[in-house]
Every structure is written in C-alpha cells, then in structure tokens.
Structure 1
Amino acid sequence: MSVIVYDAKRRLMVADSRAYSGSPHPMGTKMKIHRITDGPFKGALLGITSCVPGMGEEFKQWVTEGMSKEALSPSDPQLEALLVQTDGSVIYFNDAYYPSGPLESDYFTIGSGGKYALGAIRAGAHPLNAVGVAIACDPFCGLPVVSLSLDPADANQLSLALPETSVAA
C-alpha cells in the first residue's frame, strides 16, 4: 500500500503518495511522511504505512501528543512506521504501539513496496530512484514521490513527479 525509505547517511526520508482505498482502486494521493511540528518529538520525521484508511492520521496525532499509553487507540493498530528523531535515531513500529529501537542501519524501507526499494538501494540507487522502482513494481504504490530532510535547514518538503520512463534505478 506504500513505500517509505529512510537513508540515514543522507538523513532523507522519501515516499510515494498513492492513497489506499482498501482495494486496487486508486483513491488519489496523500502524505505518508511528516515532520512532527509540536510536542516532545518536535522536528522528528515520521513515515507511516497502513491498509486502514485514517490509521496514519491517528498514529501521527498519537506521536505528536507524546505517545501516551493512556491515549492508545485502537487496540490493534495495523501499520508500519518509522520515527526518526532529531538526533538521527530510528524507532520502528509494526502493528503495535510498542517501539523497537533505536535501530542502526544505513537505510530502512517499509510498506508493500519496501522490498523493491531495498533491492534498488542495494543495487546502488538513490532513495528517490528506489521509491521509483517500488512504484514501477508494486501496483499499490504511486506518484508523486515526496521527500523530507531531517536537517532543519531543509524544512521544506520536496515533491517530485518522476516521469514514467525514469522510475528505474
């Protein structure tokens, strides 16, 4: 339903934008990567994938409010998420509110297109091109490609609509 890549060396998070409707039917686009602007994780990057419409928004709000155990809802979140804190540490969530990490790796990929992006990165692709490869291989991923840098100097989101012919690494 998505592809999100985090390149720890570049401090760059990249994602597709295809909105998932619960079926192969396209439903438009949406943001899957976010900069947390308030709360204890202010400045962190959050990438969320879910097959449940609205789950990403709910999870983002929960993180923004500080990840309180009292505010857990629903009890069985169906999601995969990466939280990259301002110090560069990476926290992973998979179908639970319990964080795993900090994790160490040069790059992380999540979502249904994650395996394609991982292969492209291992073959030497830039994260933007790796997301393009995932879009080409996974029908549940789609343009436009968006990115966020962890560094505050680049607080503006970059949005790229890769041409169909340039999605391969």
Structure 2
Amino acid sequence: MTTIVFRDGVLAADRRAFAGEKLPIGAKTKIARLADGSLIGASTPNPGTSERFRRLVEEQGPAGAYPPGMNVQALLVLPNGDVFYFKDGEAFAGPLDGAFFAIGSGSEYAIGALMAGASAVAAVEIACQCDVWSGSGVDVLTLQED
C-alpha cells in the first residue's frame, strides 16, 4: 500500500493513506526520524499499525523482539547508514548491503527506476505514476539532518 525508497542517504515515501486495503482516505506521513537519528519507513494495510510499530522500534531498535504476526514491512536506517529490513516477522534482518532499497506495493516500479539511475525521490514519483496504491505526494528525510 505504499512505496518507500532509500538511496544515497535519502529516505522517500509516498503519502497515500487507506482505510484498510481499498478506500483511499487522504494522505499521511509514512517515514520518520527517530530520537537517535535513525530513519524508519513502514507500510501496512492495517490502519494504525505502522505508528504502533514505529513506537516499538523507537523503544527496542533493530535487535528488538517484535510481536509475531505484525503485518508490517519496514526499512530502518541507522545514523551510520546501516539498513535493516522487517517483513511480517519477529525481528529485523540486517544490516544489509546494497546500493538502494525499496519496499511496498510500488517497489518493483521504484527498483526499475533506481536501476536506471533515479534518485530516491524520483523513484517514488515514478512508482506513484504506475502503482494504484501509491500517490498523494512524496515525503523526504535525509540521513544527515539539514
């Protein structure tokens, strides 16, 4: 239900919000800077779960034990640039090695754009044009605060 991309110190995400899996109900921010400077982007078809998950990550970090069955896909980027991935499990995987990362329903479009050299923002914009579940603008956070 979203597109979240990390490349070159930039985390970008679309803003389309849904009531469950079908009805677009507006826009929301899907990425955040945590108190320690880490960046997180989370996606779920369950309203409110991404916010709950973000609070848990703020408390526990990537080494935490998360409740089983959380229907969440997430990227966590630590201040040193290490990237961790979470999907419907009990723990993050990582740190991962890669030039870029994309998650969510528009990730395949974003990865194609990234492979062609697009920035994180451009990749999300392209995914928004191709993925019915992504849209309503783009939010951007940089790893190093401006």
1:3 aligns to 2:3 (yes or no):
yes
Matched residue SS, 1:20: strand
Aligned residue pairs, count: 144
Matched residue SS, 2:23: coil
Q: What is the aligned partner in structure 2 of residue 113 from structure 1?
A: 106
User: What CA distance in whole angstroms lies between the structure 2 residues aligned with 1:99 and 1:106?
Assistant: 19
Runs of 4+ in 1 over 6 A off after TM superposition: none
TM-score normalized by the length of structure 1 = 0.81
**With CA pairs under 8 Å and 6+ residues apart, which has the higher RCO, 1 or 2?**
2
Q: What is the aligned partner in structure 1 of residue 87 from structure 2?
A: 94
CA 1:62/1:119 → structure 2, altered by over 3 Å: closer, same or farther?
Answer: same
Q: What is the aligned partner in structure 1 of residue 47 from structure 2?
A: 53
User: What CA distance in whole angstroms lies between the structure 1 residues aligned with 2:94 and 2:23?
Assistant: 35
Which of 127, 135, 146 matches 2:120?
A: 127
Q: What is the aligned partner in structure 1 of residue 34 from structure 2?
A: 36
- TM-fit CA distance, 1:66: 1.8
User: What CA distance in whole angstroms lies between the structure 1 residues aligned with 2:143 and 2:91?
Assistant: 23
Task: Kindly indicate whether the alpha-carbon contact (under 8 Å) linking 2:21 and 2:45 is maintained by their aligned counterparts in 1.
Answer: no
User: What CA distance in whole angstroms lies between the structure 2 residues aligned with 1:44 and 1:130?
Assistant: 21
User: What CA distance in whole angstroms lies between the structure 1 residues aligned with 2:51 and 2:120?
Assistant: 24
1:139 aligns to 2:132 (yes or no):
yes
User: What CA distance in whole angstroms lies between the structure 1 residues aligned with 2:80 and 2:120?
Assistant: 20
Matched residue SS, 1:19: strand
* Structure (1 or 2) with the larger CA radius of gyration: 1
Matched residue SS, 1:98: coil
- TM-fit CA distance, 1:26: 1.1
- TM-fit CA distance, 1:21: 1.4
User: What CA distance in whole angstroms lies between the structure 1 residues aligned with 2:106 and 2:123?
Assistant: 10
Sequence identity (%): 40
Q: More strand by proportion, 1 or 2?
A: 2
Q: What is the alpha-carbon root mean square deviation over aligned residues?
A: 1.2
Alignment of structure 1 residues 8-87 onto 2, 5 Å? 10-37=8-35, 42-67=36-61, 68-69=64-65, 72-73=66-67, 75-87=68-80
User: What CA distance in whole angstroms lies between the structure 2 residues aligned with 1:88 and 1:23?
Assistant: 32
